[in-house]
Amino acid sequence: MTNLRDLALRFHALHATGRPLLLANAWDTASARIIADAGAAAVATTSAGVAWDLGAADGDRLDRTAALAQVARIASAVGVPVTADVEGGYAVDADGVAETVRAVLAAGAVGINIEDGPRPADEHVRRIAAARATADAAGVPLFVNARIDVYLAGIGAEKDRLPETLERAAACVAAGADGVFVPGVTDPGTVRALAQGIGAPLNVMAGPGAPDAAELGRLGAARVSVGSGIAQATHAVVRRAAVELLRTGTYTSLAGGYDYGELNALMGKGRRDM
């Protein structure tokens, strides 16, 4: 586990308030290699993108074995740390999450996101604690990112969401979370309040209309990811090109595509060449 431990420590060191780690989420080996080749310090997976690639819907519907086999392919394709979005842990309880974490480490990833989603807050905390204990027992400082969906899911009255999120975050950090991910929030005042109130690196999810990464860093974010955004944009190109071809017999949607030779050469590289 020596190399995995080194990668995990390297991944931890990338989280710095004011200078956020930027994560362009991948879903297969091609997207992971392109992201790493673009200069990414680490690669994150998107559970939605992985599920779609494997023919399933997002939302805890993907089989753990299939999901982590994809994570293993991604980790083996790049030379940078990989963090895996494992939704709620691909398990019915905390013991199952421990099994998932062992499989994540075997796949070569050094970070995970575990979301609360529809689960009670105390169940989420148990899952975070199980992940922490399992990784520690393996001797790998896995970066455990506790995802809290209060804002994303619109839980409770708007005025209550900040205190509810901070309460859940505190419990997750006490259980061993290394960071807290709060998707659904890019409002500057809320990001600042979360960063100040959470005793761990804050991860926010950004996209069109959100402040740029530098501004989010100034507000206190230590990590900025884009979730399924790149996968959605990619699949939109597929649809536009297919509709254009089938309806008009033209090909303008293909303009600006990745050069065949460059992409083929990139996919032909070994991990050590990345």
Kindly report the CATH number assigned to the domain that includes residue 51. Answer: 3.20.20.60
Residue 160, domain member (yes or no): yes
- Predicted TM-score of the model (pTM): 0.96
What is the Cα–Cα distance from 269 to 274, expressed in whole angstroms?
7
Residue 32, domain member (yes or no): yes
Residue 182, domain member (yes or no): yes
Count up the domains in the chain and report the number.
1
What is the Cα–Cα distance from 97 to 88, expressed in whole angstroms?
8
Are 201 and 179 within 8 A, CB to CB? yes
Share of the chain above pLDDT 90, in %: 96
Tally Cβ neighbours within 10 Å of residue 210: 18
The pairing of strands 179-181 and 143-147 is: parallel
Residue 65, domain member (yes or no): yes
Whole domain around residue 211: which residue ranges? 2-228
Residue 71, domain member (yes or no): yes
Residue 89, domain member (yes or no): yes
**Cα torsion at 47, 150, 11, 18 (round to 10°)?**
130
172, HSE (Cβ side, Cα atoms, 13 Å): 34
Residue 50, domain member (yes or no): yes
pLDDT in tens, 19-69: 999 999 999 999 999 999 999 999 999 999 999 999 999 999 999 999 999
pLDDT in tens, 193-240: 999 999 999 999 999 999 999 999 999 999 999 999 999 999 999 999
What is the Cα–Cα distance from 77 to 87, expressed in whole angstroms?
22
Residue 265, domain member (yes or no): no
